[in-house]
Amino acid sequence: MAVSADMSVDNANPAHGDTITVTYTVTGNDAIPPQGATIGGRVVVGGEPFDLSASVTMPGTPAAPEQYAEPVLAGVNFSATANPAVWTAVIP
C-alpha cells in the first residue's frame, strides 16, 4: 500500500478569535525508509487567504510512529494536543 498524508482544518473560514483544529491523517506503511513530506492547505481569515503548511515524517517498514511538525500559518501559534496528529490554535 502506498503511503499518503493529508491535513484537514475543521474551519477553513475562521473569524478572528476562533479556535481551529488541524488534524493529520497518514495511511499506508510501505515507505522504505521513512519519508518526509510537506502538506498544505489554505484558510481564509476575515476575507484574507493564508497558506497553511506542515511537514510530516511518514512511517517506513516496519511501521514506526508518524512524526508531525507544528503547522505553519502566518501569525498563528499552534499548540500540541494529547494526540500528536492534532494541533489547535486561536486565530488572532
**pLDDT tens-digit map of 25-50:** 776 655 556 666 666 667 777 777 77
Q: Concatenated DSSP letters for 17-81?
A: T-EEEEEEEEE----SS-EEEEEEEEEEETTEEEEEEEEEEEP-SS----EEPPPEETTB--EE-
Q: How confident is the model at residue 13 (pLDDT cuts 50, 70, 90)?
A: confident
Q: What is the pLDDT of residue 7?
A: 75
Q: How confident is the model at residue 57 (pLDDT cuts 50, 70, 90)?
A: low
If one compares 37 and 91, the residue with the highest pLDDT of the two is 91
Mean pLDDT of 44-62: 68
Cα–Cα dist 68/19, whole Å: 20
Cell numbers given for 1: 500500500
Rounded to two decimals, the pTM is 0.69
Cα–Cα dist 63/49, whole Å: 36
